[in-house]
Amino acid sequence: MWTYQHSDFLVHQIPALENNYIYVVADKHSDNVLVIDPALAELVRDACKQLNITPSHILNTHHHWDHTDGNAQLVAWYGCEVVGNAADTKRIPHISKTIHAGESFDIGSLHIQSLDATGHTIGHIVYVIDDALFCGDTLFGAGCGRLFEGSFAQMWTTLQSLAALDEQTKIYCAHEYTLANLSFANSVDGNNPELQARIIKDTQTRNMKLPTIPSSIGLEKHTNPMLRALDDDFCSAYNPGKTPLEVFTDIRSKRNVW
Ligand SMILES: [Zn+2]
C-alpha cells in the first residue's frame, strides 16, 4: 500500500488482483473514508485495519466486476453507502446513493465532482476531488480504456473533458498498464522526447516494484498517445488532413491489435 498527501485528504493505494488499484480516500477533517472501486473487500478491510480507519462510502466508476466485487461484503461489514451513476443502477451491486453524471455532492468536508466518462462503458463516470481524479478505466498511464460499449467519438469527448482539468491534477486510475501502454506509445510517437524520458523513468519505477500511478494530467497530455491528437502539430505530422477524432480513432484501433 502507498499513501499520497492532498491538502484535505489522504489517498491510500492498494494493489489488487493482477494489475488493479483500489483507492481509499480518508478525509482529514472527518471520519469519512471513501473506497473507490473495491475489487476485493478483504484487501480493503486489511488496509483500513492497519490504518485504523473505517470505510463509510464506496464510490464506483462503473459496473465491471473488478471494480464492484467488494461492494456486497463491505456493505455487510460496515454498512457503507454505495455511490454510483443513476444510469447504472441495475448493474452496480448494492447502489444506495445515485448521482447523475456531472453532478457534484459533498461527503464530510470533501467536495466531489462527478463527470460523464462514457466510452469504456455507457454509464462510466469519474470523480474529481480537489486535485485528484479517480477515473476507473477511462484514462490510464499512457493509454485509455477499451471501448466495450461506447463509440470512439464518445471516448474522445470524454478524454477531452479530462484533459481540460488542471495539469497538476493527479490521475488515480484503476489499473497499472503503463509500461505496456508506453511500449505502444513509442510505436506511434517515438520522436517525442518527453515520451522517451517517461519510458526510462517509468521502467525504473516498475523495476523497483513501485506504481507509476498516480500520473498527472500534464504528463498525460504530453505523452499519452490517446491524448496526443489534442496537439495540432502531432495530428498534421501523424496524418495530414485528418481530424483529431480520426487520429484518435486510428491510434485507439491500432492499440487493440498491438
Ligand atoms: Zn472496466
Summary mean pLDDT of the chain: 97
3-state secondary structure of 149: coil
Burial class (CB in 10 A: 0-12, 13-18, 19+), 253: exposed
Query: How far is residue 126's CA from residue 229's CA, in Å, rounded to a whole number?
Result: 22
Q: Which domains does the chain have, with CATH numbers?
A: 2-256 (3.60.15.10)
Nearest Cα neighbor of 118 from 88, 104, 138 is 138
Contact in structure between 162 and 217 (CB atoms under 8 Å): yes
Give pLDDT, residue 222: 97
Could you tell me the distance, in angstroms and rounded to a whole number, from the CA of residue 21 to the centre of ligand 1? 12
Could you tell me the distance, in angstroms and rounded to a whole number, from the CA of residue 67 to the centre of ligand 1? 7
Could you tell me the distance, in angstroms and rounded to a whole number, from the CA of residue 120 to the centre of ligand 1? 7
Give pLDDT, residue 167: 98
Could you tell me the distance, in angstroms and rounded to a whole number, from the CA of residue 18 to the centre of ligand 1? 14
Radius of gyration of the chain (CA): 18
Could you tell me the distance, in angstroms and rounded to a whole number, from the CA of residue 137 to the centre of ligand 1? 5
Report residues near ion ligand 1: CB below 5 Å.
64, 137
Contact in structure between 82 and 96 (CB atoms under 8 Å): yes
Query: How far is residue 199's CA from residue 189's CA, in Å, rounded to a whole number?
Result: 12
Confidence grade of residue 10 (pLDDT, cut at 50, 70, 90) = very high
